[in-house]
Structure 1
């Protein structure tokens, strides 16, 4: 149950056709609601969404209406493009979600955080403790992690972390965040499904990672567990990670994730993963796959 409570359900697939290995497309509203029911009943208490995730917020809002009250801690991210202000983005999110407050308000990127830095005090003075409890930033690089870590106004930082973007690459920066009393959430546990892809299906630009992908697959075979179970539990096992974000394409996929999260006795294999070094680190960011 402890592992389940660290899971954060990502909801981008509720509103968009998302993911390099997503063969099912955007989830139907009915399936999204069934997925939320399953998550809630299993003990998952945190949802991750964003104004930029298509209709995701509306789908969650419709679900909350059916419950009569909000049963989740909601994290949503501001949309600060096309002239949108943080005030209008926040109000639109509340309207879509049908709520008066959320757990965490996040900047969708380090760039958004920098560009809105001068307004953070206004956001905190007028909204924190009323409209949201925590302010966060989603980042990509260790340089961004280390730059945000000392900021006393930031409570939560979200970063990639997985079998390749691993302890060797990330632990120093993530532990610096913990030293500054930040909550740390990680995403890309499955690297957008890359770990499940067959060699012939891997996009040409990502093939320099093939050797390392084969290495983690060999470790999963040695451990006698699926690559999914290994990947998810690797992130869940780290004491410097407070929440592990998982995105799912279907109800069946969430059921599978919940089973994976309860896999035991993998610690000795995690030590092997800790030392896998990726030289083409730019390819760990899916933005660079196109």
Structure 2
């Protein structure tokens, strides 16, 4: 079954449409990571772009061990100069190593999939050289779309993919990405946003973005009905069980701000995943939502 991967974006930024507690203090964040490790979590997801999340994770791991997946800087300010971009990528790797207090990064993902081929592949080639030198263990890509996932899977050096996924998200199924992943057993897949930034689990239609063709009240009612019919504990339980019921998913990234959320999700992860038949039942019962809802980057600004 897919493992619980501790997401750290909320530890470094006030993140999430349903986040009511905000960014925790440094002490609370470090304590949360250490408690997660004590409870058996062994993989942590972070990124240069997550505020000071890497620094907080690094402090928490000062006397602990975990497999850390981090992401290259988005390189938003490098312009069109390949030399500047490669130097910025090298700096990002060095900054991650320092913040995480790690000589060797376990796994580094491109935060922007385009950086694998941009500048004639110069950034990716430099990362490959750092991998071959032992500075990076495994390389991969954080993708936003099915096209990015399909492209990443054509590269034999991509060994890890992170993608958004939830029980409303039909895109990966229809684009054949799950089938393509079955042909790449060397690729580890982690999924994020299984609660769609909290919308699916919060049960509050007021926090949903206003998107044409989407009725939050109706969608949440459908989810509640599925919770009852499938005998699940809650909407959050259903969301996690559906993701963990996908054969291609090795880990589910769950972001947290509080120890109470950690306890709740640890409990839910002990429940059985949905069976393949139950997953198909969920897919048949839920509406086909527009891609604008499925990709938070496309949500209208409030």
TM-score, L = length of structure 2: 0.86
Shift of 1:176: 0.6
Number of equivalences:
284
Contact kept? 1:212, 1:278, Cα under 8 Å:
no
Give runs of aligned pairs for residues 48-67 of structure 1, distance below 5 A.
48-65=45-62, 67=63
Find out whether 1:254 has 2:259 as its counterpart: no
Contact kept? 2:16, 2:198, Cα under 8 Å:
yes
Q: Secondary structure at the match of 1:121?
A: helix
1:22-59 superposed Cα distances (whole Å, 9 cap, x missing partner): 00000112221222122212221111100010010111
Unaligned stretches of 5+ in structure 1?
none
Find out whether 1:110 has 2:113 as its counterpart: yes
Range moving further from structure 2, 194-203 or 42-51:
194-203
Find out whether 1:75 has 2:78 as its counterpart: no
Q: Structure 2 residue aligned with 1:164, among 148, 165, 168?
A: 168
**The structure with more helix, counted as a fraction of residues:** 1
Contact kept? 2:244, 2:274, Cα under 8 Å:
no
Runs of 4+ in structure 1 deviating by more than 4 angstroms, as ranges, are: none
Find out whether 1:244 has 2:252 as its counterpart: yes
Unaligned stretches of 5+ in structure 2?
79-84
Aligned to 1:282: 292
Give runs of aligned pairs for residues 33-52 of structure 1, distance below 5 A.
33-52=30-49
Change over 3 Å in CA distance of 1:265–1:107 after alignment to 2 = closer
Contact kept? 2:146, 2:172, Cα under 8 Å:
no
User: RMSD across aligned C-alpha pairs, in angstroms?
Assistant: 2.2
TM-score, L = length of structure 1: 0.90
Contact kept? 1:161, 1:170, Cα under 8 Å:
no
Give runs of aligned pairs for residues 101-180 of structure 1, distance below 5 A.
101-115=104-118, 117-128=121-132, 130-166=134-170, 169=173, 172-180=176-184
Find out whether 1:90 has 2:93 as its counterpart: yes
